[in-house]
């Protein structure tokens, strides 16, 4: 029964639902937590959001063992963020840099996952290292790509100074990700051992729960964005 359950959430439909659910949760965190932290003037907002994204993808890695699906999760998160375009009527370029950051974090952890996913299973210190490595790769990529696509005044302040950007931002991204990837991994372990096998034995409930989570995340994100956060 356990093997049957495992195959059911790792088949194409199960993977698609996983991408949509986890990507929607990540996108909601960007809209709600990110908006709240911005309103509060929290100085390490980008680092914490990067860590949350890495943590969500860490859960995906242990549940599905398919690093390539992380790009799909990041893409769904970006689509949630882009709700601001029709809701607020802002140009898409207003969300370009933050969307690029999300995609680069997903790409970075995809690469790290392909190379080191088996290492993550060994101990928490290796998971911490993988989280920090992915965040650092994402920060370096963002420095060069974001500087060319839609650089804000803050980013332009580091022009030609990668080292300064890594000290100010990259280390913060790495620190949060080193903590939150193992946390996400632990959540994934709990879901994989108990919740998912229970749900897939009740397939209508499994589908209903997945669709409800997706709808809830998109709805809350839309409301939060409409408030201007």
The domain in which residue 117 lies consists of 2-226
Coil vs helix vs strand at 214: helix
For residue 10, what pLDDT is reported? 74
User: Which of the four pLDDT bands, split at 50, 70 and 90, describes residue 4?
Assistant: very low
Q: Quote the CA–CA distance of 100 and 203 in Å, as a whole number.
A: 36
Predicted confidence (pLDDT) at residue 8 exceeds the cutoff of 70: no
Looking at residue 154, its pLDDT comes to: 85
pLDDT of 101 reads: 95
Q: What is the pLDDT of residues 79-97, one digit of tens each?
A: 999 999 999 999 998 899 9
Residue 3: per-residue pLDDT: 44
Question: In what helix (H) or strand (E) does residue 33 lie, and over which residues does it extend?
Answer: helix 12-40
Q: Residue 217 CA to chain centroid, in angstroms? A: 14
Task: Give the total number of structural domains in the chain.
Answer: 1
Sign of CA pseudo-dihedral 152, 156, 158, 162: positive
d(CA 204, CA 181): 31
pLDDT band of 68, cuts 50, 70, 90: very high
Judge whether residue 162 has pLDDT over 90. yes
**Residue 99: which region, alpha, beta or left (left: phi > 0; alpha: psi -120 to 50)?**
alpha
Average pLDDT, the chain: 91
pTM: 0.92
Q: What is the pLDDT of residue 7?
A: 54
């Amino acid at each position: 029964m356990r093997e049957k359950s495992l195959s059911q959430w790792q088949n194409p439909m199960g993977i698609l639902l996983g991408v949509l659910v986890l990507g929607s949760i990540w996108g909601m965190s960007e809209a709600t937590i990110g908006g709240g932290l911005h309103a509060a003037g929290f100085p390490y907002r980008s680092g914490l959001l990067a860590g949350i994204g890495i943590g969500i993808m860490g859960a995906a890695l242990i549940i599905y063992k398919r690093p390539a699906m992380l790009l799909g999760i990041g893409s769904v998160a970006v689509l949630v963020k882009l709700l601001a375009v029709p809701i607020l009527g802002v140009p898409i370029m207003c969300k370009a840099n933050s969307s690029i950051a999300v995609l680069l974090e997903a790409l970075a952890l995809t690469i790290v996952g392909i190379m080191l996913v088996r290492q993550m299973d060994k101990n928490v210190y290796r998971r911490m290292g993988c989280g920090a490595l992915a965040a650092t790769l994402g920060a370096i990529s963002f420095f060069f790509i974001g500087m060319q696509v839609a650089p804000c005044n803050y980013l332009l302040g580091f022009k030609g100074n990668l080292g300064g950007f890594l000290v100010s931002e990259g280390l913060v991204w790495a620190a949060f990700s080193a903590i939150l990837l193992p946390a996400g991994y632990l959540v994934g372990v709990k879901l994989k051992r108990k919740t998912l096998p229970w749900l897939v034995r009740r397939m209508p409930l499994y589908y209903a729960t997945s669709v409800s989570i997706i709808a809830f995340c998109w709805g809350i994100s839309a409301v939060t964005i409409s408030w201007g956060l």
